[in-house]
């Protein structure tokens, strides 16, 4: 029986994680849950999974939740401190990090610093402060298990092999909702169109990141820190069907890949129960039914965000954090109808051009860059408003 905390329990990864807990009640016990402001869904989860402590980042939503759960034995905390406290609950062994965006950095670091193993879905903290997170994980004897399907595939393809024999990592990308559109057509894309991901049902932010290919840019940075490999040895391959989740090429030119139907419960459960594999009652991949798999190179002209991901790593220091913050602001503005789809890349690029990168030796350095880049990107949103 593993005692777990889920940060971001009301989201797409969070609810898939609880689905696994529900299917394997003898394997997991939930002691802490957190969300942003969704007190209604969190209340349902409290009554169903009986955590000892929960937290909402919104103070107002936490006050509502305390009233709703007055009849129930649960402690309701709030704000950044509340999230960090739930992330460090003494009885927890594993923290599933599934908040969206940079808001997950402080609670995920709190979990690492209190010695919890991490099942990491929330990629943005790795982008903001990957080197620091890995140093802290080493210092506290913490293992970080990837949840992102691509990184889980690489993690699985590396097992039993020597890192020094790896030639390159190959991250696959579906290409997102807009892969077939021309540059001109991309100008007029609506949020509804960009949210129609062909293979995965995910939260809104990552679905837009998939459509711009920024998700792959963020994943290149995540892979660099998770697997300690330079960006020059990380490649991206467009694979529309999302069946091969990623590959590792070795020095003898063997390639090892992990395949499966797109369902996040597979990588989530692997990260939660490593090295065991839980008997998930899901449809099997039938390759005869699929027939063909297709591959092509990324198109950096129509989708410039992937290249920005590589560039942020080449510059290093706080540049990935600046890129991440600008992306969060730009995606939000696009979803709210404030800017065109194509302005997302422009805002990220201009923010990066204006940023003076420095070392990320402390979490404060990453957070300071995050604040600066958000302000800069917000001013760009105003100037590019439709």
Ligand X SMILES: NC(=O)c1ccc[n+]([C@@H]2O[C@H](COP(=O)([O-])OP(=O)(O)OC[C@H]3O[C@@H](n4cnc5c(N)ncnc54)[C@H](OP(=O)(O)O)[C@@H]3O)[C@@H](O)[C@H]2O)c1
Q: Which residues bind ligand X (CB under 6 A)?
A: 8-14, 35-38, 57, 83, 98-100, 103, 121-124, 148, 200, 202-203, 205-206, 264
Q: How far is the CB of 254 from ligand X (least distance, A)?
A: 27
Backbone angles phi, psi at 29, to 5 degrees: -130, 130
Q: Measured at the alpha carbon of residue 272, what is the angle toward residues 154 and 34, in degrees to the nearest 5?
A: 115
CB of 180 to ligand X, least distance (A): 22
Distances (CA, A) of 226 to 81, 114, 127, 196, 330: 27, 20, 10, 29, 26
Nearer to ligand X, 196 or 361 (CB): 196
Kindly state the smallest distance separating residue 218's Cβ from ligand X, in Å.
Answer: 7
| Residue showing the smallest CB distance to ligand X in the complex | 11
Rounded to a whole number of angstroms, the minimum distance from the CB of residue 223 to ligand X is 13
Q: Give the angle 209-215-220 at the CA atoms, nearest 5°.
A: 165
Q: In whole angstroms, how close is the CB of 10 to ligand X at the nearest point?
A: 4
**Distance between CA atoms of residues 375 and 245, nearest Å:** 36
Instruction: Identify which of residues 332 and 384 has a Cβ nearer to ligand X in the complex.
Output: 332
CA atoms within 13 A on the CB side of 281: 4
Residue 130 DSSP symbol: H
Cβ–Cβ under 8 Å, residues 242 and 173: no
Tell me how far, at minimum, the Cβ of 251 lies from ligand X, in Å.
Answer: 29
Residue 200 vs 250, nearer CB to ligand X: 200
Q: Are 312 and 218 in contact (CB under 8 A)?
A: no
Q: Smallest distance from the beta carbon of 270 to ligand X, in angstroms?
A: 13
- Please provide the DSSP assignment of 182-210 as one string: -HHHHHT--HHHHT--SS----HHHHHHH
| Residues in Cβ contact with 292 at an 8 Å cutoff, skipping those fewer than 6 apart | none
Closer of 69 and 384 to ligand X (Cβ):
69
Distance in Å, CB of 187 to ligand X, minimum: 26
Nearest CA to 53 out of 39, 32, 25, 84 is that of 32
d(CA 210, CA 197): 8
Is 38 or 342 the residue whose CB approaches ligand X more closely?
Answer: 38
Which string of DSSP letters, residue by residue, matches 250-300? ETTS-EEEEE--S-THHHHHHHHHTT-------PPP-HHHH-----B---T
Closest CB 372 distance from ligand X, rounded Å: 18
Could you check whether the bond before residue 275 is cis, i.e. omega within 30 degrees of 0? yes
Question: CB-wise, 106 or 178, nearer to ligand X?
Answer: 106
Angstrom distances, CA of residue 364 to CA of 132, 136, 156, 258: 11, 14, 33, 37
- Rounded-to-integer distance, Cα 45 and Cα 21, Å: 12
Residue nearer to ligand X on the CB measure, 10 or 246? 10
The residue among 36 and 320 lying less far from ligand X, judged by its C-beta, is 36
CB nearer to ligand X: give 108 or 157.
Answer: 108
Nearer to ligand X among residue 4 and residue 98 (C-beta): 98
């Amino acid at each position: 029986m593993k005692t777990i905390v889920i940060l971001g329990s009301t989201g797409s990864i969070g609810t898939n994680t609880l689905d696994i807990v529900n299917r394997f009640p003898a394997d997991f016990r939930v002691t802490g849950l957190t969300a942003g402001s969704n007190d209604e869904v969190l209340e349902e989860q409290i009554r169903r999974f009986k955590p000892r402590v929960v937290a909402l980042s919104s103070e107002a939503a936490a006050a509502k939740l305390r009233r709703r759960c007055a009849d129930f034995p649960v402690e309701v905390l709030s704000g950044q401190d509340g999230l960090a406290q739930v992330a460090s609950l003494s009885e927890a062994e594993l923290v599933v990090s599934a908040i969206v965006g940079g808001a997950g950095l402080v609670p995920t670091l709190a979990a690492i610093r209190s010695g919890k193993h991490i099942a990491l879905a929330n990629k943005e903290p790795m982008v903001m402060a990957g080197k620091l997170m890995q140093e802290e994980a080493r210092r506290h004897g913490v293992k970080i298990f990837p949840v992102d399907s691509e990184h889980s595939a690489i993690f699985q393809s590396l097992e039993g092999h020597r890192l020094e024999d790896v030639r390159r990592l190959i991250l696959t990308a579906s290409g997102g909702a807009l892969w077939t559109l021309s540059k001109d057509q991309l100008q007029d894309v609506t949020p509804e169109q960009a949210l129609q991901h062909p293979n995965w049902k995910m939260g809104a932010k990552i679905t837009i990141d998939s459509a711009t290919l920024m998700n792959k840019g963020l994943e290149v940075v995540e892979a660099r820190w998770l697997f300690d490999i330079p960006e020059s040895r990380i490649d991206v391959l467009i694979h529309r069907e999302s069946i091969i989740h990623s590959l590792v090429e070795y020095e003898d030119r063997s390639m090892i890949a992990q395949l499966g139907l797109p369902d996040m419960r597979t990588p989530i459960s692997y990260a939660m129960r490593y090295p065991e594999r839980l008997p998930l009652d899901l449809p099997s991949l039938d390759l005869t039914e699929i027939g063909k798999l297709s591959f092509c190179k990324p198109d950096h002209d129509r989708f410039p965000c992937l290249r920005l991901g590589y560039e942020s790593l080449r510059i290093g220091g706080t540049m990935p954090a600046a890129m991440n913050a600008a992306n969060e602001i730009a995606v939000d503005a696009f979803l709210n109808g404030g800017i065109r789809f194509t302005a997302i890349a422009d805002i990220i690029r201009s923010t990066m051009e204006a940023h003076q990168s420095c070392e990320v030796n402390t979490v404060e350095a990453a957070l300071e860059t995050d604040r600066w880049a958000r302000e800069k990107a917000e001013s760009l949103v105003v100037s590019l408003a439709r």
